[in-house]
Amino acid sequence: MTIAVKYFARYREALGCDHEEVEGDFATIEALRLCLVQRGGYQVLTEANLMCARNEELCKLDEPLVNGDEVAFFPPVTGG
């Protein structure tokens, strides 16, 4: 399966890219995240408050994935 992955805010800065396509068999966003972390250089994705979205809808890491999904990772949003 192919998953389009986008990185926002300081995650984009830390990784030096704003998107990539990842090939693999990922049942959930958590499985995708773990794969990225294991590749090395993705430690920013281990943060406890990591937020994610699947196909532009906020979700949790246990969200299931299917071929062609788009996943976004971003830090918590704060406002005032």
Domains recognised in the chain with CATH numbers: 2-74 (3.10.20.30)
pLDDT digits (tens, 9 = 90+) for 16-63: 999 999 999 999 999 999 999 999 889 999 998 899 999 999 999 999
- pTM given for the model: 0.92
Q: Which residues pair with 2 in a beta bridge?
A: 23
Q: Find where tokens 């196909």 sit.
A: 55
